[in-house]
Amino acid sequence: MGQGDGVESSIDYQALRRLPSIAAVTADPTVADVARGLRPEIVTAVAQRVVERVRRAILAGEEGADPEQVIPEVRAELARLLEPRLATVINGTGVVIHTNLGRAPVSAETAQAMLDAATTYTPLELQIETGRRGGRMDEVTRLMRALTGAEATLVVNNNAAAILLTLSALCAGREVILSRGQAVEIGGGFRVPDVMAQSGARLVEVGTTNRTYARDYEAAITEETAALLAVHWSNFRIIGFTTQPSLEELSEIARRRGLVLIEDLGSGCLIDTAPYGLAHEPTVGESLAAGVDVVCFSGDKLLGGPQAGIISGRADLIRRIAAHPLARAVRADKTALAGVAATLRHYLRGDVTETVPIWRMIAAPVEALEERCRAWAAALEAAGPLRVVPSRAAVGGGSLPGETLESRALAIDAAVAARHGLTLDALAARLRTGSPSLMPHVAEDHLLIDARTVLPDQDAGVVRAVATALGVVVPSMN
Ligand SMILES: *Cc1c(COP(=O)(O)O)cnc(C)c1O
């Protein structure tokens, strides 16, 4: 196709000539329509970038490089700029604390506290009574003390930062003893030995993968030892022929030998999970009562609050941690602090299962879930037949591995999808990219929308999402 100077060339000069000018792109009515609300120089810059990209593609002889692409691509890119990417997704996966979906949604009261903190001035580092400089951590410290007996508390960006900071402040240049069975990777690249190395502490592994005894810790203690570290197995289990000394035993050794006992508790549960048919998840209060000196946990896992890392324990140690230079680098912002405090207040009042979304989901009776699924199926009759099936939901968020909650889901069979001209994967993609966006659980021959993880005010959204994806018109749900 090349027609340069009679020389054979793969460059499509005709296509190059058909590339629109920047002025022509920005003047195009369909572009101008999307561009409303954007500063003109932003629109021009986007147009220049897209024209340049298509020009290069044509010069490189890329297949499908076409000047006709320019206008739709500019339009799409401008639309993307204006549309928040992190808008709501309805969680139909049945995984309550879903890391890819942003972990725990917070309570309305927590959200309001965060909004207030974000949009106004707050006495973040001011003692209102005296007008003097006050501590950022006074409020969370007071709340955690009331809930768990912790002498002091420090809130940082996330639990990974909490552990890195704690080890850096208390153990850098010295040895930390850890059971081989706890030298784990939590996910997202968080590996305990790597974090330890980053902190400047030296890891001393003791015991074996499945069995570690108190005497193993004891035998590894030297002049260089700063701490014993216990790490919660968050997202896996070792069952069968296993031994691991209790926190009480480790605490006894630490106290006798003048060491610090640090625990990475992972999820940071504050209440007993047993009433919900789940295995017992160790709580922050239990760790402290067992003699742990410093415990680190996440704010957005089983606590059900905003992203944060919470460090609680002995006041002298928390002071040392707070004084380390890294503490400033990883400190929590005022919205996170307000959110953690508001979430903790739910625990003080004992209204967690009515107010904190993840606990509301965990505690929801299966009959209520069945009823909601039936209402969805009824509203979607025109798209059906859709079945209501028993399902198993999971807590997720690196807690309670293998534990599931009885649940109910709306099932869309492959045959039903096929009747609408869709494979299950295509239907799932449509649901994800739809408005509202819905993330289903895709199984072998059907797709599930688990009611346990759909927020109470999202029922109409589920119906709308499914109806739109299948291309049917249904009466709106109230
Ligand atoms: C989740 C988890 C972490 C990391 O916490 P983030 O808040 O995600 O930084 C660290 N340790 C354990 C045991 C965990 O479960």
Domain match, 417 and 456 both: yes
Give the CA angle between residues 451, 455, 456 to the nearest 5°. Answer: 90
**What would the pLDDT profile of 89-143 be if each residue is shown by its tens digit?**
999 999 999 999 999 999 999 999 999 999 999 888 888 788 888 788 999 999 9
Q: How many domains does the chain have?
A: 3
Q: Is the CB of 298 under 6 A from ligand 1?
A: yes
Q: Is the CB of 231 under 6 A from ligand 1?
A: yes
Answer whether residue 478 is part of any domain: no
Q: Is the CB of 160 under 6 A from ligand 1?
A: yes
What pLDDT score does 2 carry?
44
Q: What are phi and psi of 311, to 5 degrees?
A: -115, 115
**What would the pLDDT profile of 214-257 be if each residue is shown by its tens digit?**
999 999 999 999 999 999 987 778 888 889 999 999 999 999 99
From 82, 117, 145, the end of a domain falls on: 82
What pLDDT score does 33 carry?
92
**What would the pLDDT profile of 292-305 be if each residue is shown by its tens digit?**
999 999 999 999 99
What pLDDT score does 329 carry?
97
11 lies in which domain range? 2-82
Q: Is the CB of 159 under 6 A from ligand 1?
A: yes
Q: Is the CB of 192 under 6 A from ligand 1?
A: no
Q: Considering only CA atoms, give the Rg of the chain.
A: 28
Residues in the chain: 478
What residues in the chain have per-residue pLDDT under 70?
1-9, 86, 477-478
Domain match, 345 and 368 both: no
186 Cα: distance to centroid of ligand 1 (angstroms): 7
Distance of CA 448 to the CA centre of its chain: 22
Helix (H, G, I), strand (E, B) or coil at 159: helix
Domain match, 146 and 75 both: no
Domain match, 335 and 205 both: yes
Domain match, 180 and 206 both: yes
d(C-alpha 346, C-alpha 284), whole Å: 16
**CATH number, domain containing residue 434:** 3.90.1150.180
Q: Is the CB of 297 under 6 A from ligand 1?
A: no
CB 104 within 8 A of CB 304: yes
31 Cα: distance to centroid of ligand 1 (angstroms): 45
In 316-421, beta strands by DSSP E: 387-396, 404-413
Domain match, 185 and 312 both: yes
Q: Is the CB of 103 under 6 A from ligand 1?
A: no
> Which of 155, 157, 186, 307 maximizes ligand 1 atoms within 8 Å of its Cβ, making it the mutation to test the pocket?
186
Tell me the percentage of the chain whose pLDDT exceeds 70: 97
Q: Whose CA is nearest to atom 6 of ligand 1?
A: 159
